[in-house]
Chains A and B, each alone.
Chain A
C-alpha cells in the first residue's frame, strides 16, 4: 500500500510570492490534514479536509488556504509568503474521524 505522497520535497521562494504544496492520501483515506512544523516549534494543525469540504482550520491567517479534489488529493496554498512561513509542511491522511493519521515525508518550504 502506497503511503501519503507529498510534492515537491523542497520549495524555495522569496517574500511576497505564493507557494502551492500537493498531497495524495493513502488509497481509501478520505480525510486529509495539513500541519506546519517550524524549526524549534511543535507540530501545529493548519487545515482538515474531508469529502471535498474544509472541516476545520487552525489558528493561521487566511493567506493559508487549500482544497481537496474529487480523488481526495489536496493542495495547500500560501499567499504573500513571509519569512516565518519557513517550515516543514506535513500532510496526513486517515480513514475517518478519530482514526490514526499517517504522515507523508513533508515539503520543506524555505523563504529567502
Chain B
C-alpha cells in the first residue's frame, strides 16, 4: 500500500464547476497536509496547507482534513481552464519526520 494515494485521473470538469480532489494517507502520525499544483514541466507550487481537522478556505480553494478517516481533499470552486494541472497531495510528520511524502498526483482538466 502506497503511503499517500491519489486517483491519477484525469479528472475532467467543465469551466465554472467545482473540482473535488481526494487523497488518503496511511501514517496516522502525520501532522501536516499540503496541496501543490504542478503545471507540466514546472515545479510544484504550494496552494493550500492544513493542520487541523475540518475545513480551511482560501479564495476559490478549500482544503478538508479528516484525521480519523486519514483523508484530505481539495475543492476548487468556479474552476477555470488555467486550473488545469496536476495536483499533488503531500504529508509530513509521523514516521516521515519533516520530509514530505507525496502522492502520485491527480491530473485535472477544466474544459471551456
Contacts and interface: CB of A to CB of B under 8 A. Distances in A.
Contacts of B90: 43
Interface stretch (A11-19, A61-69, A72-80, A101-109): A101-109
Nearest to A90: B43
The B interface, classified by DSSP as helix, strand, loop or mixed, is strand
A97 B32 CA distance: 10
A48 B99 contact: yes
Nearest to B46: A100
Interface residues of B, number: 24
Given A31-B98, A55-B98, A103-B44, A98 B105 contact: no
A31 B42 CA distance: 22
Contacts of A92: 100
A23 B36 CA distance: 20
A56 B98 CA distance: 8
Contact of A100 (B34, B88, B105): B34
Interface residues of A, number: 25
A42 B98 contact: no
Contacts of A106: 43
B4 to A, nearest CB: 9
A98 B43 contact: no
B100 to A, nearest CB: 6
Interface of B: 31-32, 34, 36, 42-46, 49, 51, 88, 90, 92-93, 97-105
7 contacts: A33-B100, A43-B88, A56-B99, A90-B43, A98-B32, A98-B51, A100-B34
Interface of A: 31, 33, 35, 42-43, 45, 48, 50, 55-56, 58, 88, 90, 92, 94, 97-106
